[in-house]
Structure 1
Amino acid sequence: MKTLLMLANTALGGAAAMLAATPAMAQDDDRAGDIQVKLLATAVLPDGKITDINVNLPGLPASLQTKANDNVTPTIAIEYFVTNNISIETIAGMTQHDVDTTAGLPAGAELVSNAKLIPATVTAKYHFDLGGLKPYVGAGPAYFLWVADDPGAATLPLGVTETNLSNELGLALQAGFDLPVNDKGLGISVDVKRYFIDTTARWFVGNTLAIETEHKLDPWVISAGLSYRF
């Protein structure tokens, strides 16, 4: 986690350095202060791999392995242009996932059901101007907030009454492009993010912690849709 925080600080510091190094561009840029809103269809492709088993009262196999399912969800991105080349972006959306076994138990045994995630993300982006096409790269911190999760069907026979996934801070790297389609601000956007973030999963039987596992999520998040800059 310290490494992720250092990477996030370095990425944001680099964006700030680019901004500080181009004050003249910020003053001369007639697009500075623009806002861009994007309505996107987003595919969330998490890993979900178990990296450690900390508590194992039921004696689950040491070879136990899992994966979170993929999902597609609508998202909104809101972006503020500090200059025509440098912007700050955040996203709004929620995605739902189940976690199933892939090894150690019969494949497809459900361990977590209907886990709902808000991937709060802020990125600093640098845009390149290639004429019509405007590619960009970005990076910034992400906070994965789990707002709901239920015990999976395979855990209920073990007496599990509650499941909890820990909220965690991590890093997001980003690349994509915007393509204007008219001179009124309408465009097409494609965006790819890779998150580096984990979670701790806990299953309780009453008040007793029965299972605790560490999971590598590290999802790819791929979006495409319409943008409007004004």
Structure 2
Amino acid sequence: MKTFLMLGGAALVLAATPAMAQDDTERAGDIQFKVLATGVLPDGKITAVNVDLVGLPANTQTKASDNYVPTIAVEYFLTHNVSIETIAGTTQHDVDATAGLPVGAELVSDALLLPATVTAKYHFDLGAVKPYVGGGVAYFMWLSDKPGAATIPLGVTDTDLSDEFGFALQAGFDVPLGDKGFGLSFDAKRYFIDTTARWFAGNTLAIETEHKLDPWVISAGVAYRF
């Protein structure tokens, strides 16, 4: 969070100074298409236990696994420096115990997430490297999930992770390669978003917990602007 605050402060200082001469090949109305390798790194924990029919240990904690996936980003430039970006891709995670229960016990399996995200970005004219900062809204949609292997012997028949709105902060930089629109792109997002996890035994809600997810999403790849 401190890193983003520092970047935001730098953005305000740079935005207040005259922009360098604009590259004639980069204009309002341009579209930039990116193909990226992305690491999704959750940084969450249980924040509340709403229902507990099984008697969880008081110090129970969990963590979602990291995942590495291909993603696509599409960016539209409203002006030379201001753009709107959205990403496309899905990521799959398990949720395991880290405290209270046996460490590594799988509680949720194959949770498939679609992290719908739209951000607004401000790009700085600093020569060959073009840094940016941004922020926007996100909606995490859980497309599927299954009871973890450790819960099935306890009678759990179904799990559910709630879809939720949140927001994201973003920073990164693009590196144009020549004047044909091709380039490299490096991006970091920090999401601030929660979910409610529920475990069912038949029709009975056995456990309900609130989770902070707050993943880092780190991407690098190639870009084409036209």
The DSSP-based 3-state class of the residue aligned with 2:152 is: helix
CA distance in 2, matches of 1:151, 1:162: 6
Please list the CA deviations of residues 138-170 of structure 1 after superposition, one character each: whole Å capped at 9, or x if unmatched: 000000000000000111111100000000000
Would the alpha carbon gap of residues 30 and 113 (structure 1) be closer, same or farther in structure 2, given more than 3 Å must change? closer
Structure 1 residue 62, shift from structure 2 partner: 1.3
Check the 8 A contact 2:25/2:179 in 1, yes or no: no
Please list the CA deviations of residues 112-157 of structure 1 after superposition, one character each: whole Å capped at 9, or x if unmatched: 0000000000000000010111000000000000000000011111
Greater per-residue helix proportion: 1
Find the counterpart in structure 1 of residue 102 from structure 2: 106
Gaps of at least 5 residues in structure 2 are: 1-7, 9-14, 16-23
Query: Are 2:79 and 1:83 aligned?
Result: yes
CA distance in 2, matches of 1:30, 1:221: 27
The DSSP-based 3-state class of the residue aligned with 1:175 is: strand
Find the counterpart in structure 1 of residue 170 from structure 2: 174
Please list the CA deviations of residues 10-37 of structure 1 after superposition, one character each: whole Å capped at 9, or x if unmatched: x9xxxxxx9xxxxxxxxx9961100000
Query: Are 2:55 and 1:63 aligned?
Result: no
In the TM superposition, 1:122-161 aligns within 5 A as 122-161=118-157
Q: How many residues align?
A: 206
CA distance in 2, matches of 1:32, 1:104: 54
Amino acid at match of 1:153: A
Runs of 4+ in structure 1 over 2 Å off: none
The DSSP-based 3-state class of the residue aligned with 2:150 is: helix
Structure 1 residue 60, shift from structure 2 partner: 1.2
Would the alpha carbon gap of residues 29 and 85 (structure 1) be closer, same or farther in structure 2, given more than 3 Å must change? farther
The DSSP-based 3-state class of the residue aligned with 1:100 is: strand
Amino acid at match of 2:198: R
The DSSP-based 3-state class of the residue aligned with 1:154 is: coil
Find the counterpart in structure 1 of residue 91 from structure 2: 95
Check the 8 A contact 2:118/2:136 in 1, yes or no: yes
Amino acid at match of 2:115: P
Amino acid at match of 1:148: S
Q: Percent same amino acid among aligned pairs?
A: 76
Please list the CA deviations of residues 150-206 of structure 1 after superposition, one character each: whole Å capped at 9, or x if unmatched: 000111111100000000000000000000012110000000000000000000011
- Aligned mate of 2:208, from 197, 212, 218: 212
Check the 8 A contact 2:38/2:218 in 1, yes or no: yes
The DSSP-based 3-state class of the residue aligned with 1:147 is: strand
Please list the CA deviations of residues 89-109 of structure 1 after superposition, one character each: whole Å capped at 9, or x if unmatched: 000000000000000011000
Structure 1 residue 47, shift from structure 2 partner: 2.1
Provide the alpha-carbon RMSD of the alignment.
1.7
Would the alpha carbon gap of residues 78 and 117 (structure 1) be closer, same or farther in structure 2, given more than 3 Å must change? same
